[in-house]
Structure 1
């Protein structure tokens, strides 16, 4: 059988999932397909597929697919007792192993209630749900014992962790607890909203010897008019002000971000403001998404749609600008020493990531996977950063 783990973040991702499922059945009409991920959470197309040959597993149960496939291969029909057990396990959001990786990803939170105008995720994942601190600590301790050098804390809306738990808890206090785990070398945050970065968290990043000096903070637009239409919870000035605070407190910290191009009503002037913001921050990397209208979201029916040709032009312009500011940041590391955790071998190069998330290539050294080493940055090009083992 096949497993299709489908993303539903954009309409383009939906189409790819649909084409893949159709292709599988076309090649082998008798095969069985397990469909999971956000795509399986809520999509009308799934009502029309052959229910006797497919099993739709909700996003929140996908880690139990091996057991479900073995015991319950009946579309949308679970034994009530087994489903209860699955849900009990699911609330712990456990991750057990990451074969062949140097980094382990630990999901500490799921769900979001922000309801940004363009985003389908709250409809797919529901309200925020946090994993308890003691479970997180136990899980990370196990991963460290298994040999992982770096752990990445992930979540749909990481900054709201613990808001649904009792007690005086915060992401900052959790980080302090995790740092005490013996043997853990590096800790990284996957993504966080700028509105959730407070003085306490900035101080934790500045003081920590384990928390990586890198933050992924979605900008989405560099124009207040568009941010307001998107129903984001910050202004451009607040975003840039927070970035400046962090830069002053944490040397060599890097920032990555997400930006939507072509949101309804985005004019040339609005887009120029986004380019300006990108240059001011100096992002290491910008993830660029063309606006994708999603049913159920408020932006789906907004007027003033931007022409596809204009969106493509803006995407390229933003990509060019992002590459230039990334080059400037990486050049600032020339002749400096960075700590690199190596993850793979590519021909004659060992490749890994610095704590500020710069991919670094070292020539002529082999068998460095899962090793954390001091590297001197010796050369930077538009696409690559090269280093030498010290």
Structure 2
């Protein structure tokens, strides 16, 4: 058996090559703009998780260096990228629906460039569908070669032929990519890529590859540079951050990394996701407890309450082990806000199994939960399992889960009524421009009256009203 090559971190040669291509494209765009007076615009639509959102920030950074400006809608764009997700079927269907609309736009503007990237592109059946049914897509690339986007764009512009560049596995990690952050005051930082867990319902390991960790010195430098640029809150990202460091030659645990990040001067808050219960260590709990910048909130998906179903999911922990872990965390870090993911209707789930799920919800008392009806993903072991649960049964159980969750989450919110909490002001309210929104250390969303000059600042707010999924307050 051949030894699997260890992914290398590329910080010079490949990054410099793409940088040169960016300069060439920028020069071409500047010449076109000087001749025609026309500014080129891009539009990126992002589907899926925070990893995809962070990837889109890198795409934005490269496109703006090339000379494109951001368009607020597809109709005004010269270059459209869909960064796709394949975790749930409805996300894929949304993409296909939008591709039909883009055909209409391309018919009106033959110079429009359409690109597809992300997790969907790593699936052979999706790639074949786009090749045959959506021939107006010009550039297709996957999750492993995001940094090559300038080169792929250049190739398309030179040939005017469809460019497809899909890698079956990761070859290298390219550092120092430009990035456009949505917020100046907070940012996400990838600490690792890929996943080794192979939960039977999940397509992620097949489309994002095996785990590979970035070197701690690269992560710390990136965070230090972000803090110097005004960032106050960092979200450390990985499919399973608890596995961080296992692929490094010089082993560093996630807990050790957290402590190093906590020492960075000027940084105010540290968040991270996602944590897998199977390897959340006592060392990490202690680091969360001891590090003053680590937010007292934790997203800890349990997915299903039944040990039988957990085994079928390949989650590698039991109901009892999850409950013991949750109680240990709550004991060591009082008032921590625990949130979770829950799947209803996994193949083979009985009423008794579902009651185990409700039992965990009642015992742990989560502050929030992302809940899903099981979605069959082609290419995963669960897709061909027997005893697929009928849709009407899954829907009934899903509604029952909401009935149990909602009063618990409401009670958790109401416990904050009358308290004064520090929040990071993030934005204007989408529904009322007189209101600002921000988040507490625990992750609760707070609306309050205030001036937009407060965005990006930490302020104290007294909670005057508690709704189920958000709080209302007034500045102190």
Does 2:145 align with 1:61?
yes
Q: Relative to 1, partners in 2 of residues 1:39 and 1:53: Cα closer, same or farther, differing over 3 Å?
A: closer
Does 2:374 align with 1:291?
yes
| Aligned counterparts of 1:342 and 1:13: Cα–Cα separation in 2 | 30
Which residue pairs with 1:75 in the alignment? 162
Which residue pairs with 1:102 in the alignment? 185
Would the aligned equivalents of 2:184 and 2:230 in 1 still touch at CA under 8 Å? Answer: no
| Aligned counterparts of 2:179 and 2:341: Cα–Cα separation in 1 | 29
| Aligned counterparts of 1:164 and 1:129: Cα–Cα separation in 2 | 6
Which residue pairs with 2:459 in the alignment? 373
Does 2:90 align with 1:12?
yes
| Aligned counterparts of 1:293 and 1:197: Cα–Cα separation in 2 | 28
- State TM-score, norm by structure 1: 0.91
Does 2:120 align with 1:39?
yes
Q: Relative to 1, partners in 2 of residues 1:271 and 1:33: Cα closer, same or farther, differing over 3 Å?
A: same
1:230-241 paired onto structure 2 within 5 Å: 230-241=313-324
Structure 1: which 5+ residue stretches go unaligned? none
| Residue from 275, 280, 303 that aligns with 1:197 | 280
Structure 2: which 5+ residue stretches go unaligned? 1-78
Note the C-alpha offset of 1:108. 0.8
Would the aligned equivalents of 1:153 and 1:188 in 2 still touch at CA under 8 Å? Answer: yes
Moved more, 280-289 or 317-326: 317-326
Would the aligned equivalents of 1:40 and 1:56 in 2 still touch at CA under 8 Å? Answer: yes
Note the C-alpha offset of 1:135. 0.5
Deviation readout 1:175-228 (Å, 9 max, x if unpaired): 111111111011101211112221111111111110011111111101111111
SS at match of 1:367: helix
Moved more, 38-47 or 112-121: 38-47
Which residue pairs with 2:210 in the alignment? 127
Does 2:223 align with 1:140?
yes
Note the C-alpha offset of 1:66. 4.6
1:213-224 paired onto structure 2 within 5 Å: 213-224=296-307
Note the C-alpha offset of 1:93. 7.7
| Aligned counterparts of 2:373 and 2:150: Cα–Cα separation in 1 | 35
Note the C-alpha offset of 1:338. 2.3
Note the C-alpha offset of 1:324. 1.5
1:305-316 paired onto structure 2 within 5 Å: 305-316=388-399
Would the aligned equivalents of 2:117 and 2:141 in 1 still touch at CA under 8 Å? Answer: yes
- State TM-score, norm by structure 2: 0.76
Would the aligned equivalents of 2:309 and 2:349 in 1 still touch at CA under 8 Å? Answer: yes
Would the aligned equivalents of 1:94 and 1:107 in 2 still touch at CA under 8 Å? Answer: no
RMSD in angstroms over aligned alpha carbons? 2.2
Deviation readout 1:8-41 (Å, 9 max, x if unpaired): 0022222222222233124434443200010111
Which residue pairs with 1:350 in the alignment? 436
Note the C-alpha offset of 1:57. 1.3
| Residue from 326, 329, 334 that aligns with 1:251 | 334
SS at match of 1:60: coil
Aligned length: 383
| Aligned counterparts of 1:249 and 1:45: Cα–Cα separation in 2 | 46
Note the C-alpha offset of 1:64. 4.7
Note the C-alpha offset of 1:46. 2.4
